[in-house]
Amino acid sequence: MKRTGACLALALALGLAGNAAHAAGGNPAGGTASGTARSALDLAAYRATYVLPLTYVTGLNRAPFGPQGRTFRNQEMEFQLSLRFPVWSHPLGHRGTNLVFGYTQRAFWQAYDRADSSPFRETDHEPQLLVETHTDFRWLGFRTRIVRVGLDHQSNGQADPLSRSWNRVFAEFVAERGDFAISFRPWYRIPESAAADNNPDITHYLGYGQFRVAFRGGRDEYTVMLRDNFNTGDNRGAIRLGWSFPLNQRLRGYVQFFDGYGESLIDYNVRVLRIGAGVMLSNWL
């Protein structure tokens, strides 16, 4: 419980610090794509940081947990913390290009299962090392503002039989047009030996990339994330819908809906349906 309180306090403190810097507005992606919302430690918001105190979920992958999995509740808490830190600004004298370390943590907490001491069901860690370049390429009325290329490791930090992880090379293209922002992020999974691979079929469920759209309508913001394996014979994919709205100058209400595969690593090959509500502290891209 102490560890949980510390994680949530850190997410709130850093999220509020970052959100204060762009509370007045910005691009429809929340102004974090370029890392402009920085703390005194030169940390910046990266992806969305949010806390959903109550979510309702169906389709949890209970099997890997043995008897404990049968006691998991459909009501659980979810939160995500995402930060970035510039490692090297303007490498080789190229202005507008930065070497960046990013970290995203997403946790699914059985907070209401008091009989079993409210365990964390799953915590996924995703460190990245990437090169980010600011551009101004125009196409179909859109302006490609950021191009990223990097290495991504995602793991739930568990031992067998709960261990899930994979490594990827990825690229990301972020573009804007008026109140719209879009992001396309293709990836290639780095092969592992059969003996070391805990999830050899993960690309069958999570595919080879994802597409995001953000739209600002007045003071409200709407987001869509799509993934698909493009296998017509055995199609798998996911959709995540988000709606955020201002509560005050620092906090935004946030409602999220997810349907599909890969919501968490332990659930990567199980279709999950979830809806939740809470607060958003910093937005994506």
Question: In the structure encoding, which two tokens stand for residue 136, read together?
Answer: 């101004």
What Rg value do the Cα atoms of the chain yield, rounded?
A: 19
134 is catalytic: no
Annotated active-site residue in 22, 125, 134, 153: 153
> Terminal CA-to-CA distance of the chain, rounded, Å?
31
DSSP state of 93: G
Classify each residue of 168-205 as buried b or exposed e, where b means 16 or more C-beta atoms within 10 Å of its C-beta.
Answer: bebebbbbbeeebbbbebebebeeeeeeeebbeebbeb
DSSP state of 38: B
DSSP state of 11: H
How far apart, in Å, are the Cα atoms of 140 and each of 27, 176, 182? 18, 11, 13
Q: Would you say 78 and 108 are in contact if contact means Cβ atoms under 8 Å apart?
A: yes
DSSP state of 91: G
Annotated active-site residue in 22, 155, 163, 204: 155
Q: Would you say 144 and 32 are in contact if contact means Cβ atoms under 8 Å apart?
A: no
Give dist(CA 142, CA 136) in Å, integer: 10
90 is catalytic: no
Tally helices (H) and strands (E) across the chain.
2, 13
Task: Identify the residue whose tokens are 């005194």.
Answer: 40
- Residue 66 backbone phi and psi in degrees, to 5: 65, -145
Q: Would you say 18 and 38 are in contact if contact means Cβ atoms under 8 Å apart?
A: yes
Residues that are catalytic: 153, 155
